[in-house]
Amino acid sequence: QVHLEEAGGGLVQAGASLRLSCAASGRTSSIKRMAWFRRAPGKERENLASISWIDDTTSYADSVKGRFAISRDNAKNTAYLQMNSLKPEDTAVYYCALAPLGISTVYSYWGQGTQVTVSS
C-alpha cells in the first residue's frame, strides 16, 4: 500500500507562483510514475503533468506547458509541481497520483487533494 500526502495549496493572486508537494509513504520501492491532476468546478479531471521514477522523463498538458514544472526527489519519495504565472482558470483541487510498477501505467493511488484558488 502507498499513502500520498499533498501540501502547498492556497489562495494567491493572478501572476503568483505556488509549489505543491506530494510525499509518498509505504511501499515506495514500486513507484513507476507520479502525476498531478486537477478538477475545477463543473469540469472533468485533467492530467497536468507526470514524471517517471525510472528515467525522469516528463510530460505536460498543453494548458500548463511552459508555466508548470514537475520534479521529484527520490530520497524523499516526493514529487513537486511548481506553478508559475497562475491564472484564475487554474483554480481547482489539485491531486497527486502514483502508478506502481507494471506493464501498464495505472494511477492506483491518490492523494486527498489540495485546493488552489487564484484571484483576479
pLDDT for res 30: 87
Average pLDDT of span 13-40: 95
Task: Tell me the per-residue pLDDT of 36-71, one tens digit each, with 9 for 90 and over.
Answer: 999 999 999 999 999 999 999 999 999 999 999 999
Residue length, the chain? 120
Average pLDDT of span 13-17: 98
Q: Say yes or no to pLDDT of 96 above 90.
A: yes
Q: How confident is the model at residue 103 (pLDDT cuts 50, 70, 90)?
A: confident
Average pLDDT of span 87-109: 94
